[in-house]
Each structure stands twice: as C-alpha cells, then as structure tokens.
Amino acid sequence: TAGSLDTSYVVNGSAKAWLHQNTDASLDDSFNTSSTADQGTGNYRTTFTNAFTNNFQAVPSTCAQNNDAVVYNNGRATTRIDLKLEEGGSAVDRKCAASVHGDLA
C-alpha cells in the first residue's frame, strides 16, 4: 500500500555495526561493537559483539579534525575490522567514525 515498505529493504540496507571513536581508541558511541584497540599510530582494531557471515562487509568511514585525513579498511574478518588512518601518506591518530554493512551470522 502507499507508504508501506518491505522490511527486507530495511534489514538489508541498515548498518549492522557502527562506531565513533577517539584518538586513544575509546568509544564515544557504538552499536554491535564490543571493543576497540590502538594497534599503533593510525591503526585501530574494532571487534564486533555479533559476528558477520563473511569477510565482505562494506565499511564507509570518515575522520574528524582534518579534511585531509583518510581512512582505509586495513583488514576484515567476521569478528573484526582494522582501520588505518593517514594524512599526506603518513599514519596519524584521529577521531574516526565507521559504519559496517553486511549480513550478520
């Protein structure tokens, strides 16, 4: 009917995990994120509360503090993602936010 929406669009189109973290890997807020860890300058590991079915998640990310900083998805597994932050080709610690899209196990 008019105004109705098939729930599969909502389920398939919603982020299954997201986070907003500080430079020390502490979380400001998150969903389906059990922990974050500082793996060295510009490298962060996020562990999920609930695992994904495979390693093919889409992970759009962004950095705060400087428009020139970029976030790379530096590794994925069903239980975690690794993010690498760079500015001008060098690793930097920045606040960052990421959402994770995929199918939960």
The pLDDT tens digits of the residues spanning 24-78 come to 999 999 999 999 999 999 999 999 999 999 999 999 888 866 667 788 888 889 9
- Which residue intervals of the chain are DSSP H helices? 7-13
Place of tokens 């299954």: 16
Give the single-character DSSP code of 3.
Answer: T
What span, in angstroms and rounded, lies between the C-alpha atoms of 23 and 12?
31
What span, in angstroms and rounded, lies between the C-alpha atoms of 55 and 77?
5
What span, in angstroms and rounded, lies between the C-alpha atoms of 53 and 69?
31
Q: What is the pTM of this model?
A: 0.85
What span, in angstroms and rounded, lies between the C-alpha atoms of 103 and 95?
26
